[in-house]
């Protein structure tokens, strides 16, 4: 497969351009086209000599994602389903500012990006893993989600766009889409370095949250990275009994090991960890789970994001009613744990990761079957 231009760092491009006897300033011109102007084709790069554009074209691809469908409107959560070069589909979700959650100003946007096609970890409640794992996304496929959304946004009539001083629409990134980010470690880190670089996406590392279901060796590896990404752990259970029931990864890395890795991460980075805790009726929402959860939270100086479960078609799990959700939050607060209850904005548009892809692929298969008959 041809390397995509957006997997190369500035240093790698500098070496490549030197090999082509191109002056160094051409690298910055190219980067400006790729990341500030979000060029979608080589032909747009009019200040690069034709011969250089041809060399680039012959040696690298410049892929953008094709929008298959979009759900949601400008002031709510919007979900994008992309088709990749090989026909695989992944999702990104654009979430308008939620000052209560992230403390940002109200013109801010968070983008949730995918890192794999499908997921191998098979958490019992999750749509992303239902059809298994297909492949890792490349670094450029990860970061192109940001640029494809921004390119789409720039084309919208003014009423749909928020006036902004910066050229960037996306201010915060959460790596919480389809896939287990830390199982695609190298591509993820290459992508995030490019998104973070001043010559690339220019998104501060502190504005990038990586979510993991609990891959202990990779959490330890991430702790050694110089960049200060935020870390979120999909905990969903405060005891091995509960986690074992819904997250197969817990059998490989049980809570004791996960907590030890988080403690080390915390002490090396000095950063607060977030626990994601989906509330699933009758599975992890009983008040007796609140005590061990609060204990873990305080031990790690973490905070808890409680997320009412989003129903997935074909799976038996349900979200607890609001009284039960509030009672769980109150029980955590009584134990002096820091917790927020996030009532999902995207509930109505299949916001839970992996659902839109699953539904669309099913509809496409059905349409093909009808066409074939
Ligand atoms: N694989 C990583 C990141 C992607 S999942 C991880 O598991 O952390 C992002 C978050 O969405 C995780 O916390 C996951 O548990 C949660 N999630 C998955 N299915 C969900 C559903 N149906 N309702 C609510 N949250 C869900
Ligand atoms: Fe994979 Fe995360 Fe879904 Fe678990 S919750 S199946 S790790 S995407």
pLDDT at res. 271: 86
Task: Clarify whether 91 is annotated catalytic.
Answer: yes
Ligand 1 binding pocket includes 182 (Cβ within 6 Å): no
CATH number of the domain encompassing residue 159:
3.20.20.70
Q: DSSP state, 339?
A: E
Residue 18 lies in a domain: yes
Kindly state whether residues 33 and 139 are assigned to the same domain: no
For the stretch 149-190, pLDDT in tens is: 999 999 888 654 555 555 689 999 999 999 999 999 999 999
Q: Look up the CATH number of the domain holding residue 16.
A: 1.10.150.530
Residues 27 and 50 in one domain: yes
Domain boundary pick from 34, 59, 84: 59
DSSP per-residue codes, 237-250: -SSHHHHHHH-THH
Same domain, 39 and 186: no
Note if 119 is an active site residue. Answer: no
353 and 225: one domain? yes
Domain carrying residue 16:
5-59
Q: How far apart are CA 120 and CA 314, in angstroms?
A: 19
| Same-domain pairing of 264 and 325 | yes
User: Residue 79: helix, strand or coil by DSSP?
Assistant: strand
Same domain, 239 and 256: yes
Give pTM, 2 decimals: 0.92
CB distance 212 to ligand 2 below 6 Å = no
Statement to judge: residues 171 and 293 lie in one domain? yes
Model confidence over 183-234: pLDDT tens digits? 999 999 999 999 999 999 999 999 999 999 999 999 999 999 999 999 999 9
Between 298 and 372, residue with greater pLDDT: 298
Half-sphere exposure of 349 (CA within 13 A, CB side): 18
333 vs 357, residue with greater confidence: 333
Same domain, 16 and 97: no
186 lies in some domain? yes
Q: Is residue 373 part of a domain?
A: no
Mean pLDDT of 85-104: 77
Determine the distance separating the centroid of ligand 1 and the alpha carbon of 313, expressed in angstroms.
15
Domain count, the chain: 2
Q: Is the CB of 125 under 6 A from ligand 1?
A: yes
* Reduced 3-state DSSP string for 1-52: CCCEHHHCCHHHHHHHHHHCCCCCHHHHHHHHHHHHCCCCCHHHCCCCCHHH
Same structural domain, 71 and 20:
no
């Amino acid at each position: 497969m041809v390397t995509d231009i957006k997997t190369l760092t500035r240093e790698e491009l500098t070496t490549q351009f030197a090999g082509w006897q191109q002056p160094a300033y051409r690298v910055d011109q190219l980067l400006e086209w790729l990341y500030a102007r979000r060029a979608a084709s080589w032909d747009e790069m009019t200040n690069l000599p034709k011969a250089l554009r041809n060399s680039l074209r012959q040696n690298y691809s410049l892929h953008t994602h094709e929008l298959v469908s979009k759900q949601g409107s400008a002031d709510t959560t919007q979900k994008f389903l992309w088709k990749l070069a090989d026909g695989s589909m992944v999702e990104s979700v654009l979430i308008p500012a939620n000052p209560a959650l992230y403390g940002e100003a109200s013109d801010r946007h968070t983008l949730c990006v995918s890192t794999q096609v499908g997921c191998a970890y098979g958490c019992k409640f999750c749509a992303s893993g239902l059809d298994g794992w297909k492949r890792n996304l490349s670094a450029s496929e990860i970061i192109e989600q940001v640029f494809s959304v921004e390119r789409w946004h720039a084309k919208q009539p003014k009423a749909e766009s928020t006036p902004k001083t910066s050229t960037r629409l996306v201010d915060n990134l959460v790596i919480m889409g389809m896939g287990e980010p830390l199982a695609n470690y190298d591509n993820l880190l290459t992508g995030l370095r490019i998104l973070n670089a001043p010559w690339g996406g220019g998104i501060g590392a502190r504005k990038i949250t990586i979510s993991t279901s609990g891959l202990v060796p990779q959490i330890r590896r991430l702790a050694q990275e110089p960049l200060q990404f935020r870390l979120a752990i999909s905990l969903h259970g405060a005891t091995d009994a509960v986690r074992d029931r819904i997250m197969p990864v817990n059998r490989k890395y049980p809570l004791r090991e996960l907590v030890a890795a988080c403690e080390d991460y915390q002490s090396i980075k000095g950063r607060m960890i977030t626990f994601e805790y989906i509330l699933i009726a009758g599975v992890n929402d009983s008040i007796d789970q609140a005590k061990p959860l609060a204990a873990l939270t305080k031990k790690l100086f973490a905070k808890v994001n409680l997320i009412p479960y989003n129903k997935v078609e074909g799976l038996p799990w349900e979200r607890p009613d609001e009284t039960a959700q509030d009672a769980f939050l109150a029980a955590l607060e009584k134990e002096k744990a820091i917790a927020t209850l996030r009532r999902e904005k995207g509930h109505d548009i299949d916001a839970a990761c992996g659902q839109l892809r699953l539904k669309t692929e099913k509809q496409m298969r059905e349409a093909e079957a009808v066409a074939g008959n």
